[in-house]
Amino acid sequence: MILAHPQLESVLDLSGEKVQTMVIENQDFFRGFLQDIQSQIDGFSGKTVISEKNKILDWPKYGELMDRFLSLSLNRKPLLTKISSAMETQAMSEAFYGRSVQLLSQVEQYLDDLTFAMDCDVTCGQCTIAGLLKAAGITLREDYADPMEQLLDYMELVRCYEREKLFVFVNLRSFRSEEHT
């Protein structure tokens, strides 16, 4: 992946195995650079470009600006939606299909019994795995002792369930010394 901006002397090649660090000493450019990236993530146009194989990538899909590390939550709706979708696919796989069909049948029978016992005319929609997963309230564990471990897990989850992304960290070194990395 390549990152480019008109005011940078050269493009940044981010395709290597190592984490790239960019130090911006000019406060006005620093603020403008970050605002430009955030603006594009929010859907507006800007000057900072990320590309891969000479194709310009959309910031909202392929980039993420990370400036809050202490209050990072893994339980972001887009990620949870992708995980629930993967669980739904798994439920319909050969390994789980029989159990899934049996469970849905049992839940529907239970709901039919409940509605029959009511004094009013109640109907229930058809049960689905997606509906059960939504009702279960799928969330990710967040009881991390180390915020950096949580950050790494978040990046791995995004990579696994969404796509490869460029994570732009703002002042990450302020939270972690080099001997702890």
For the segment 131-177, what is each residue's pLDDT rounded down to a tens digit? 999 999 999 999 999 888 999 999 999 999 999 999 999 998 887 65
For the segment 58-85, what is each residue's pLDDT rounded down to a tens digit? 999 999 999 988 888 999 999 999 999 9
For the segment 169-180, what is each residue's pLDDT rounded down to a tens digit? 999 888 765 555
* Residue 175 structure tokens: 């939270």
> Is residue 43 left, alpha or beta, with left meaning phi > 0 and alpha meaning psi from -120 to 50?
left
Rg (alpha carbons) of the chain, rounded to whole number: 23
For the segment 31-60, what is each residue's pLDDT rounded down to a tens digit? 999 999 999 999 999 999 999 999 999 999
CA within 13 Å, CB half, 35: 6
Q: What pTM does this model have? A: 0.81
